[in-house]
Amino acid sequence: MHTPELQANNDDGRFLLDRSQRSPLWRQIALTLEQEIHRGRYEPGDKLPTEGELSLWFGVNRHTVRRALFELRKRKLVKVEQGRGTFVNENILDYMVSRRTRFSENLNRQNRSPKGILIRNEIMEADEEISRALQVNRSHPVVALHILREGDGRPLSFSSHFFPLPRFTGIAQSFQDTGSVTVCLSLHGVEDFFRDETRVVARPPTSEEARLLALPKNRPILETKSFNVDKHGVPVDYGIARYAGDRVQLVVKTA
């Protein structure tokens, strides 16, 4: 998992940046620091090196480091205190909700290693909710995949995906093989798909959800229901995702 434009620090503790303008220096710095944090090099509560030190290490101006820190601060990854330093915050995943929302992209963007475990799968008849979402008759057969998603080994969400059946036969096996819904869909002829609508509620977890997400029972769940369509507007996937409320923050850009 190497980002070519990024090199690890060498023996002196210096970092080499790609100055070819393909990516802004401040972004590379932010990405590097983010990696270090997620790798555990800096843990929650730890103090980061001072802006001065970082500017030396990266070989940039302090302002450039500050631009990077500003980015991390905006994403609640760090907390800055004047006169004291910059400190690592508790880990909150910013989950971007957009027309092209993909779980693994979302985690990769924040440099977490995504992982999906198929808890179980089943063939069932569409109930009221599912039939409306997938625009099929009630009791039309659908496949359901129940997936536990992790980031850096921490459970992040427990999601259920429903696919209309004649079209997506055998998708459970595809997921076992690939571990990605996106890849699954492309194997079944869906090159691209889009999120049409997302509904968000907050509610207490069921005992199964609390168990799977390693969540205390009094901590809420953030539940999203999303409708995905292919490029022709045909529904391909109805997904219900349940996030651990205090480990995930949904971010909606209304541009």
Partner DNA sequence: TACCATTTGTCCGTATGTATT
Partner DNA sequence: AAATACATACGGACAAATGGT
CA–CA gap between residue 38 and residue 26 (Å, rounded): 18
Between 143 and 195, name the residue whose CB sits nearer to a copy of itself. Answer: 195
Minimum separation from the CB atom of position 85 to a copy of itself (A): 15
The answer to whether 221 and 203 are in contact (CB under 8 A) is yes
Binding residues for a copy of itself, how many (CB under 8 A)?
39
**Which string of DSSP letters, residue by residue, matches 62-119?**
HHHHHHHHHHHHHTTSEEEETTTEEEEPP--EEEEESTT--HHHHHHHTT--EEEEEE
The answer to whether 185 and 193 are in contact (CB under 8 A) is yes
Question: Judged by CB under 8 A, which of 74, 84, 211, 231 binds a copy of itself?
Answer: 74
Minimum separation from the CB atom of position 172 to DNA (A): 25
Between 60 and 212, name the residue whose CB sits nearer to DNA. Answer: 60
Environment class of 189 (CB within 10 Å of its CB; exposed 0-12, middle 13-18, buried 19+) = exposed
Question: Judged by CB under 8 A, which of 136, 194, 210, 230 binds a copy of itself?
Answer: 194
> Where does this chain touch a copy of itself (CB under 8 A) — which range of 31-39, 103-111, 200-208, 230-238?
200-208
Between 171 and 181, name the residue whose CB sits nearer to a copy of itself. Answer: 181
SS3 245: coil
Environment class of 28 (CB within 10 Å of its CB; exposed 0-12, middle 13-18, buried 19+) = buried
> Where does this chain touch a copy of itself (CB under 8 A) — which range of 118-126, 169-177, 196-204, 207-215?
196-204
Question: Judged by CB under 8 A, which of 84, 203, 211, 231 binds a copy of itself?
Answer: 203
Binding footprint of DNA on the chain (CB under 7 A): 21, 24-27, 48, 50-52, 59-61, 63-64, 66-67, 69, 80-86, 131, 137-139
Question: Judged by CB under 8 A, which of 13, 45, 59, 204 binds a copy of itself?
Answer: 204
SS3 235: strand
Give the N- to C-terminal CA distance of the chain in Å, as an integer: 31
Residue 192 lies near a copy of itself (rule: CB under 8 A):
no
Closest to 115 measured CA to CA, from 81, 156, 63? 156
- Which of the choices DNA, a copy of itself, none does residue 84 contact, using the CB cut-off of 5 to 8 A by kind? DNA
Enclosing H/E stretch for 146: strand 141-151
Binding-site ranges for a copy of itself (CB under 8 A): 73-74, 79-80, 92, 94, 97-99, 101, 128, 132, 194-204, 218-222, 243, 245-246, 248-255
